[in-house]
Chains A and B, each alone.
Chain A
Amino acid sequence: MSRAVAESDASSNNLDARVNALLSRSRRNLGSTRLRELFIYAALIACGLFSLLITVSIIGVLLTETLRFFQFDEVTVGNFLGSAQWTPLLGATKSFGIWGLISGTLLVTGIAMALALPLGLITAIYLSEYAPRKVRDVLKPVLEILAGIPTVVYGFFALMTITPFLQWLHEGFNVYNAMSAGIARGPRCFPQVCSLAEDALHSVPKALRDGALGLGGTRFDATIKVILPAALSGIISAFLLAVARAIGETMIVALAAGSRPQATLDPRDEIQTMTGFMVQMAGGDVSNFGTEYFSMYAVAFTLFLITLSLTMLGNLVRRRFRETYE
């Protein structure tokens, strides 16, 4: 159409026509380019919104199914939040006290963190302050591999190697026990603690480090008195994120910690965690759509709330920290 106009112009004024033709052509191309840009932009926004949709549907699904769980006659909110008796499969004496599962989760997580936190923090300090390049080049891939090994492998290791060793040490250990799962979870968590803590140590400005060393401090002095306090919020955030990760870990506890929920502090005993219960529900032949099936959603929602608040807190602390130094 526009080309036809341009050609008719050509008879009257040649130069004008050529300019017009050029303009019209470039305008047409620009139009299609703009359209394409707009289309792609919309597609990218759709991708971005998809991640929001995931969050919304997690919360939506867990919330509605949890509400449905609380509508059962056998279930009361008071029992759920106030009891440590988690016996959903015991026919007549069903009790849904979430603390029975939370205590197991905390016990295993506590053991794991007691191992992973000091190990991870000191390894991070070593990597960031002391280690020569060659050691770093070896240690970093080792940590990456440790973090990359699937949890089912750690579960196997816990059940087949750690538990027999513990039983050899002390006869009181059950075949399934919290200690073994906690010990296996430690090396799984500590690379994460290590890499996050190292990030925090790295982002302390070099000037602070140089200042401490220049004043005659040893590396130890600089690390303990200057760098660690400066990186403290980053390290706290690393701890929080690692605890969140450890609480949500599933396969190690499913294999090694057992399936008897009880509120105990004895690490030799069999316990059940929130994640372990979900796996038991999904993997077993429990009748679908009974109370115990929906209790899985209530447990998942509790787990989600706990890990989400830890993660959000961790990210918040880290962001605060970053703002201070960047």
Chain B
Amino acid sequence: MSSENRKDEIPSDGATANAGASGSRADKEKTLRGSDSRMATDRAFRRACVIIAGISVVILTFLLGSIVLQGLPSLSITLLTGTPEPEPSQAGAWPAIAGTVWVCTICALITLPIGIGTAVLIEEFRPKSRLGRRLLSLIQLNISNLAGVPSVVYGILGLTAFVSMFGLFGAAKNGEPAFEIGATYYDQFTNLASDPFLSMGIEDAEERYFLAPVAASSDPPTVPKSGMTMFEYIGETLEPVTINVVGAEDFPPTDPKELSLSVDGNSIPGRISEKAWYYFRLPFGRGVLAGALTLMLVILPVIIISSQEALRAVPSSLRDGARGLGATSWQVIWNITLPAASPGILTGSILAMSRAIGETAPILIIAGIVYIRNAPHHLMDSYTVLPLQIYNWTSRPQEEFHAIAAAGIVVLLVILLSFNAIAVILRQRMQNKVR
């Protein structure tokens, strides 16, 4: 088909080959005249097509090229392992990368069962009742409409449904949890030695912090008393210490050892909290779980639709064979259909996850732009994701941050392209298998 096109100088040849019109001798003259201009149009159109189709390649090359050129100089180990410092040369994206891994892993764990389950329900079950059929077609229609909902709207839904949980837990408005498990609250006191005025020049008195456990976060501040047992971090473990309280009228002790154990009786402690890895709260707040659930809303329709296509591609003879052997609906699905469709489902799921990784708007809506220095430690921990960090850097005025943003984009694109590559390889393997 492409070879006949090369013979531009002999239009009649092209006409015969392309259109397959042999044309009777009698009106050859007429046909040729007509076909001449039509062939010319066809060739011109084909050329225009090639050029326009080539534009997409040019755009991609230009896009990737300009970003790599801008980002390559800033690409460094610091970018991968560092925290987002305000100083451009030390800025890194480690918390963002860790946040992306957390959010997307949890999102995949929640979304895949629901998505594949819905696809199986629509594709594999033929309800006998009219109501059931109606329900299925309603679900199908609903999914194709959900796929068109802008992700930013899902962000708004996530903000209401997961972050504040429709305000069902009254305290949601100021972001405080109404219910929580796995948090321990402490009141933190500093000793007198940390105050240069009160320590009265006793040099070898060290600065120490004492923690007094509090039952609930809403309790009033602890009032320190002499002889009270508080805790102190020695390395990673909490050790009990007995403290000494100095009132406003008392003189601070002169013995350095005693001074380092003394606390001002009027001092107001700072409330700090320790959260275990299983920390859980209601409403979820602006944590990892809320982000993962919001991303679930975004990619659920994508996963359902691609899984449906994969299930549809399984030849029905396989199902009929299994059914003929007496297998129940679920036995057919579990032993025959799902294994046969699994490469397709996997490919679709990987592509959907790569979309989740790059999704910025919903995360921006529910998490906001916050300064995060640590990787998340529990499901309710605050977090940021790589695209959001890139957005943050891009929207800053300093040029240096733009270069770092470009480097961050390079990291993001490498992750996404490797996801895509895995999907493409899987698809090719699957095609080979079918052949």
Contact = CB atoms under 8 A, between A and B. Distances in A.
Given A139-B56, A145-B60, A255-B394, A217 B118 contact: no
A contact patch SS: helix
Most buried by A among B150, B405, B420: B150
A146 B59 contact: yes
Interface in B287-302: 297, 300-301
Nearest to A122: B52
Interface string A225-242: 000000000000000010
B146 to A, nearest CB: 6
B156 A146 contact: no
A109 to B, nearest CB: 12
Contacts, number: 279
Given A61-B161, A218-B41, A248 B55 contact: no
Given A146-B56, A156-B67, A216-B21, A248 B153 contact: yes
Contacts of A40: 330
A214 B19 CA distance: 7
B63 A157 contact: yes
Nearest to A139: B53
Given A150-B360, A150-B416, A247-B150, 10 more contacts: A45-B121, A51-B142, A51-B300, A138-B57, A152-B390, A190-B56, A250-B364, A278-B152, A282-B368, A303-B153
A36 interface: yes
Contact of A126 (B50, B118, B156, B387): B50
Nearest to A311: B148
A123 B56 contact: yes
B396 to A, nearest CB: 11
Contacts of A315: 141, 144-145
Interface string A138-179: 110111111011111111110111000000000000000000
Contacts of A282: 155, 159, 364-366, 368
B264 interface: no
Interface string A191-214: 100000000000000000000011
A325 interface: no
Nearest to A61: B160
A251 B413 contact: no
Contacts of B121: 44-45, 47-48
B52 A126 contact: yes
A52 B59 CA distance: 39
B156 A296 contact: yes
Given A250-B361, A282-B155, A218 B144 contact: no
A96 B355 CA distance: 34
A10 B367 CA distance: 72
